Amino acid sequence: MSRFVGNELPDDLYERLRGNDLEGCAEKVILISTLEGEGWRHHGVLSYFEVVALDRRNIRLATYKDSSTTNNMRRNGRATLSIIDERVAYYIKGSVVELKGEMACTPHNAKLNMRVEQVLKDEVNEEYEAGAYVAGGVSYHNPNRAAEMLKAREVLAELLEDEAQED
């Protein structure tokens, strides 16, 4: 059952999204959901190399500049990130603004800021599901992982560059 935990990232989630453990999250996936113009949910996949917490209230995203996901965020300014991994299930809802239409280090990506509005945590109901837990998350494999890791450092550094940002 999901429960509201606040309007900022809790300690464990903040640490997970700071970009300090690229090796540990190299094959993990973050799911992103946006809303299409017709009202349908649109789901996408991001890596931890495209998402970084600027602080507990702001998450920076690098998404393909011409993707449906990015266009949906441009249009309605909303997104939900789902962080699902071993013993962890968080849903981060927020408002999104585009900071740059094209990133310098990856021109195919737009740079966006997601302002955290709600964080929900999915937890086991001990009365009905005692001892149950999420056993793993979604992962991916990239045969060019070494090159991906080098580029990830550039992307995360550019995402963290200061822009005019409201608190």
Over the stretch 97-141, which tens digit does the pLDDT of each residue have? 999 999 999 999 999 999 999 999 998 877 888 888 888 898 998
DSSP three-state, residue 152? helix
Non-local (6+) Cβ contacts of 99 within 8 A are: 60, 111, 112, 113, 163
Residue 164 has pLDDT above 70, yes or no: no
The residues that bridge with 114 in the sheet, in sequence order, are 59, 96
The tokens describing 71, both together, are: 């266009």
Residue 163, pLDDT score: 63
Residue from 70, 71, 62, 51 nearest 103 by CA: 62
Name the CATH topology of 2-124+136-160: Pnp Oxidase; Chain A (2.30.110)
Name the residue type at position 143: P
C-alpha distances in Å from residue 97, one per residue of 48, 108, 164: 19, 17, 11
Residue 145, pLDDT score: 85
- 154 phi, psi to nearest 5 deg: -65, -45
Please state, in angstroms and rounded to a whole number, the distance separating the CA atoms of residues 121 and 155: 28
The tokens describing 134, both together, are: 């999420």
User: Of all residues in the chain, what percent carry a pLDDT higher than 70?
Assistant: 97
Kindly state the average pLDDT of the residues 9-29. 94
